[in-house]
Amino acid sequence: MIPKTGFNFAGIKLRNPLILLSGTAGYGKELNEMIDLSRLGGLICKTITLLPREGNPPPRTAETPSGLINSIGLENPGLKAFIKEVIPYLKNLSLPVMASIAGDKKELALMAKKLEETGLSGLELNLSCPNVSGSAFNPVSPADLHKTIKAVRQSVKMPILAKLPPDLFRIENLVTAAEDAGSNGLTIANTFPAVIFDVQKRKPVLGGVTGGLSGPAILPLSLYLVFKARQVTNLPILGSGGVFDGPSAVSMLLAGANAVGLGTVNFFRPDAYREILIALEKYNTL
Amino acid sequence: MMVETAEIRENHKIASPSYYRMVIEVPKHFQARPGQFLQIQVESKTTDPLLRRPFSIAGLSENKVTVFYQIKGKGTALLSRRQAGEQISFLGPLGKLYPIVPGPKIILAGGLGAAGLLFLAKNLSADSENEKPIAILGCKTKEDLFFLRDFQALDIPTYCATEDGSFEFKGLATSLLRKKIKERSKNGIIYACGPNPMLAAAGKIAKEYGWSAYFSMETMMSCGTGLCRGCAVATRNGYRLACVDGPVFPAEEIMWGKNDSENGV
């Protein structure tokens, strides 16, 4: 349900269930100049890491049928610069903001602690970026995922959302592991690992070779993941992947999500929220 | 900058094989300067192609923006079918400007790179406080020189280089650039847009003769607004984004070896 006065999502008060997803909304500034952020429910910042990362070599993006493959490589200014230079701006935005963090479990726990002190609304743990090497960043097994989330849970009291990998065959196990470890909510899921080739040059298109697929192309897969997750948990779910219009947003709620993520759509229809809000209003009153 | 809607006034083929000019009527409040670009949604009824396409602003007068394009793929093919009178969505103006500094100026355009430079040439030619530029248009063959009349109409000296020698200077635009720089004693400024190998060569020539140079970099661009961080250009200050930090960069900042040599201009 979407009460007019807002609703509680994983301990975060949202005006409505539309959340701008990490990596597609920058640090709020760019979109704030383009759209009315006070119409959205929340914003999750681009993922930060403990130390700055320069990101992957270009080309970093490639278009596919109804999709986009990116290999940005977690380019970010690092925790220190984020706290000093970005957070003061975020605090003036007209919607709740969450930080997104990536790293090994020790780094995540440390970053979470520092970010809790800043008073941000919540934290998303990016446990599934396809564009960084090293399994420490991507705990692919339910057991590793549990350990990582547990480490953060023990470090902070603030709301945390675990952003799960789009593992079509183990999603239920990942959900259960995240819930047991104390996650307040789940973001399901992330971009799907993907690769694309330039047939003229006979080599991969992206500078980082592989990337993550997003956009309307992945909608049915994201819906499947949310649908399967809902069968094993009562945790709030932020359904994420491929929503671009009213029907796709309503589908996400039908699959079992409580909040709807807007991601790649921000790149091509940054004002899609208008149409989506109307569709969600209708859905709620029918 | 907001999501805007314009009405298509003209959209037709101007040269073979598939060069088009499109004129759109933009809202009255719209303002733009040379160097800036628009992200145009080629077709609103489909998600394939998914992304908007970036186009240099080639001219702006009386709320009408001119852009040029060549059919290269699905997006530009769809755009070429759009009709006068239809509405079209765009984001813009986006990106940074060509900085205007005193001194002799040479505009160097490779292929469709001439589009954005035409806007610059027009403003410079009408600017009484600045020295008039000269323009060098480089193409493979004379059929590609469809910008020539637009530049000549501005009453600035315009020189052409064709790789096959079918019109004026035979050879690369950068060879002609070297010749024209030699004819000028004072240090000046090069404004250029075109294929990366041309820009890399022009950057070397600028350095050799102590000229400054500003290049508009064309890269694969997804959002055009700084959100996706996809359009990275390798510079001496790390990766910068063509969409918000550029597309115009000082030539000496660009790390040529680390950028794609084929940018599809």
Please give the Cα distance from A107 to A110 (Å, whole number): 5
Give the pLDDT mean for A65-88. 96
**How would DSSP label each residue in A100-126?**
EE-S-HHHHHHHHHHHHTTT-SEEEEE
Closest Cα of chain B to A115: distance in Å? 22
Whether A210 is in a domain gets the answer: no
Whether A161 is in a domain gets the answer: yes
Nearest chain B residue to A244, by CA: B47
CB contact under 8 A, A75 and B48: no
Alpha helices in chain A (DSSP H): 29-32, 79-81, 87-90, 105-116, 142-155, 171-180, 219-230, 246-255, 265-268, 272-285
Q: Is B41 on the interface with A (CB under 8 A)?
A: yes
Strand partners, A160: A123
Please give the Cα distance from A252 to B124 (Å, whole number): 53
> What is the separation, in whole angstroms, between the first and last Cα of chain A?
11
Whether A200 is in a domain gets the answer: no
Please give the Cα distance from B157 to B37 (Å, whole number): 26
Q: Which residues of A touch B228 (CB under 8 A)?
A: 23-24, 61, 70, 72, 267
ipTM above 0.90, yes or no: yes
Give the number of C-alpha atoms closer than 13 A to the C-alpha of residue A169, restricted to the C-beta side: 2
CB contact under 8 A, A66 and B258: no
Q: What is the DSSP letter of B257?
A: G
> What's the burial of B115, exposed, middle or buried (CB within 10 Å: 0-12/13-18/19+)?
buried
Whether A71 is in a domain gets the answer: no
Q: What is the pLDDT of residue A140?
A: 75
Whether A64 is in a domain gets the answer: no
Q: What is the pLDDT of residue B265?
A: 42
pLDDT at A129 exceeding the cut of 80:
no
> What's the burial of A210, exposed, middle or buried (CB within 10 Å: 0-12/13-18/19+)?
middle
- Per-residue pLDDT 10s for chain B (265 aa) are 689 999 999 999 998 889 999 999 999 999 999 999 999 999 998 999 999 999 999 999 999 999 999 999 999 999 999 999 999 999 999 999 999 988 899 999 999 999 999 999 999 998 878 788 999 999 999 888 889 999 999 989 999 999 999 999 999 999 999 999 998 877 899 999 999 999 999 999 999 999 999 999 988 899 999 999 999 999 999 999 999 999 999 999 999 877 765 554 4
Pairing mode, if any, of strands B212-216 and B248-250? antiparallel
B51, B233, B238 ranked by CB distance to A68: nearest = B51
Contacts of B61 (CB under 8 A, 6+ apart): none
Nearest chain B residue to A271, by CA: B3
Please give the Cα distance from A126 to A238 (Å, whole number): 13
B-interface mutation test, from A30, A32, A39, A271, most B Cβ less than 10 A away: A30
Contacts of B161 (CB under 8 A, 6+ apart): B136, B137, B138, B139, B168, B169, B170, B171, B172, B173, B175, B176
A60, A66, A271 ranked by CB distance to B48: nearest = A66
Catalytic residues of A: 129
Whether A89 is in a domain gets the answer: yes
Whether A158 is in a domain gets the answer: yes
Contacts of B106 (CB under 8 A, 6+ apart): B133, B134, B135, B136, B177, B180, B181, B188, B189, B190, B191
Q: Tell me the CATH number at A111.
A: 3.20.20.70
Residue owning tokens 């005193």: B102
* Ramachandran region, residue A167 (left: φ > 0; alpha: ψ -120 to 50; beta: rest): beta
Whether A97 is in a domain gets the answer: yes
Determine how many CB atoms are found less than 10 A away from the CB of residue B257: 7
How many domains is chain A built from? 1
Reading the block at residue B57, the tokens are: 């602003």
CB contact under 8 A, A72 and B231: no
CB contact under 8 A, A58 and B91: no
B-interface mutation test, from A29, A60, A198, most B Cβ less than 10 A away: A60
Give the pLDDT mean for A170-199. 96
Closest Cα of chain A to B35: distance in Å? 19
Q: What is the DSSP letter of B173?
A: H
Determine how many CB atoms are found less than 10 A away from the CB of residue B163: 14
Nearest chain A residue to B225, by CA: A30
CB within 8 Å of chain B, chain A residues 173-232: 215-216
Q: What is the pLDDT of residue A135?
A: 52
Please give the Cα distance from B109 to A213 (Å, whole number): 36
**How would DSSP label each residue in A155-204?**
H--S-EEEE----TTTHHHHHHHHHHTT-SEEEE--PEEEE-EETTTTEE
Q: Is B128 on the interface with A (CB under 8 A)?
A: no
Q: What is the pLDDT of residue A2?
A: 47
CB contact under 8 A, B226 and A30: yes
CB contact under 8 A, A61 and B233: no
Q: Please give the residue range of the domain that contains residue A256.
A: 7-56+77-193+215-284
